[in-house]
Structure 1
Amino acid sequence: MGERHPALARLDALVGRWTVQPEVEGLGVGWTEFSWVEDGLFLRQYSDADPVPETAPRAWRENNPLPTTQLIGLDDAGEEFTVLYADARGVHRVYRMTFADGVWRMWREAPGFHQRFIGTLREDGAAVDGRWERSTDGVDWALDFMLTYRR
């Protein structure tokens, strides 16, 4: 295959199993696992959790996306990644992504439902502090939820 692209090597910081704590009232801890597939050409992220408890907000219980799978691949023209996302609801999305200098960004622009994520890898590599935001027009943004990944 040749030499590994340096942008792919940056994603090694995510590889492994993490607990995930969304800051959503009534939701407990989930988990996610990042692993290389196809001899390191793609990074797979699989996430799941225990069943959503009855104490979780009704909207979350009715729209629970777990489990989810993401497949991350590189576009070496600009060292930007593409993320293919699918979840238990039958939702399929495509995100753009960067990961550099400990900052992880994902975003999508879709009519009526724009999304963006920013996460910061702590210096010790043991946690990522992140937030998802949403927008109907791509101009005015609102916090969707905060979350923390921990090793």
Structure 2
Amino acid sequence: MTTNPALADLQILIGDWDMELSRTSFLPTPDAVAHGKLAVEWVDPGAAVVMRMGDASTPTATWIIGRDEAHPEYTVLYTDDRGFSRVYDMTFAERHWQISRTTPEFTQRFRAEVAADGTTVDGEWQKSYDSGVTWEHDFDVRYTRTDS
């Protein structure tokens, strides 16, 4: 199978990454930094993208990204080792990456930019408990490519 043309923009994300979390409310101190691994790969090559986060020493999560070629938005299926399952909307264009979900209980959004050379991604997660009326910082994330 060849890469689905609707997913071609995501090629820049394919590879192995170091994940750095900072400015979090869930780490022991506000200035604490946590590192983990992120692997981004094609499924059946090119049918979808899977992102696998974490390793033996950090929490794990799996993201599966696909897209209907008739729509510019991607759909992301998420699950993690805490038992959470979520569906996100995603856009990715001109190195700008956005992910979001809106529910009455817990709304989230992620905004990031991929460096022109594709070696880093800098982003921020925000959260809302009132369906996106008011937002608060959740955490910063930086992905740094570890493969060549």
What TM-score do the two structures reach when normalised by structure 2? Answer: 0.86
- 2:12 aligned counterpart, secondary structure: helix
Task: Confirm or deny that 1:19 pairs with 2:18.
Answer: yes
- 1:142 corresponding residue in structure 2: 136
* Alpha-carbon shift at residue 131 of structure 1 (Å): 0.3
- Counterparts of 1:49 and 1:21 in 2: how far apart (Å)? 13
Please list the CA deviations of residues 24-73 of structure 1 after superposition, one character each: whole Å capped at 9, or x if unmatched. 34342111010000231110000004535xxxxxxxxxxxxx21001001
- Counterparts of 1:50 and 1:127 in 2: how far apart (Å)? 23
- 1:36 corresponding residue in structure 2: 42
Number of aligned positions between the proteins: 137
Pairing 1:94-113 to 2, within 5 Å after superposition: 94-113=87-106
Pairing 1:1-150 to 2, within 5 Å after superposition: 4-5=4-5, 7-23=6-22, 24=24, 25-49=31-55, 51=57, 66-137=59-130, 138-150=132-144
Check conservation: 1:43, 1:71, Cα contact below 8 A. yes
Q: Given residue 125 of structure 1, which amino acid in structure 2 is its aligned partner?
A: G
**Structure with the higher strand share, 1 or 2:** 2
- Which protein has greater RCO, CA pairs closer than 8 Å, 6+ apart? 2
* Alpha-carbon shift at residue 123 of structure 1 (Å): 1.2
- Counterparts of 2:3 and 2:122 in 1: how far apart (Å)? 32
Please list the CA deviations of residues 50-108 of structure 1 after superposition, one character each: whole Å capped at 9, or x if unmatched. 535xxxxxxxxxxxxx2100100102222211000000011000000011000010000
Q: Where do 5+ consecutive residues of structure 2 fail to align?
A: 25-30
Q: Given residue 4 of structure 1, which amino acid in structure 2 is its aligned partner?
A: N
List structure 1 runs of 4+ shifted beyond 4 angstroms.
none
Check conservation: 1:130, 1:146, Cα contact below 8 A. yes
Identity level (%): 39
What TM-score do the two structures reach when normalised by structure 1? Answer: 0.84
User: In angstroms, what is the RMSD of aligned CA positions?
Assistant: 1.7
Q: Where do 5+ consecutive residues of structure 1 fail to align?
A: 53-65
